[in-house]
Amino acid sequence: MTRMTEAAQVQMFGATFAEMDEMREDSMGDAKMLAMSILSDAQESMSRGGTETARRWINKAKYVISKIDEV
């Protein structure tokens, strides 16, 4: 991923890369299940009118998906 400041990471994802990596490590399921769970959170946010929060949840899911094939 391109170099971003922590402030930019929080603006885009609602968390830093380190926090999202910790979320991935702490996840009970695999990365695909985590991404689906995050997308469900985004749907819930959208249903409540939280488009900015939903955008951040979607970006988190994309981050998780981008890490699936990394070794």
How far apart, in whole angstroms, are the C-alpha atoms of residue 52 and residue 47? 12
pLDDT digits (tens, 9 = 90+) for 26-65: 998 899 999 999 999 999 999 999 999 999 999 999 999 9
Beta carbons of 42 and 58 less than 8 angstroms apart = yes
pLDDT surpasses 80 at 2 = no
Q: Looking at the domain assignment, is residue 1 inside a domain?
A: no
* pLDDT the model gives residue 45: 97
Encoded amino acid at 19, one letter = E
Q: Looking at the domain assignment, is residue 31 inside a domain?
A: yes
Joined together, the tokens standing for residue 63 give 């981050």
Give the confidence band of 3 by pLDDT, cuts at 50, 70, 90: confident
Encoded amino acid at 31, one letter = A
* pLDDT the model gives residue 69: 86
Instruction: Say how many domains are in the chain.
Output: 1
Find the domain containing 16 and state its range: 11-66
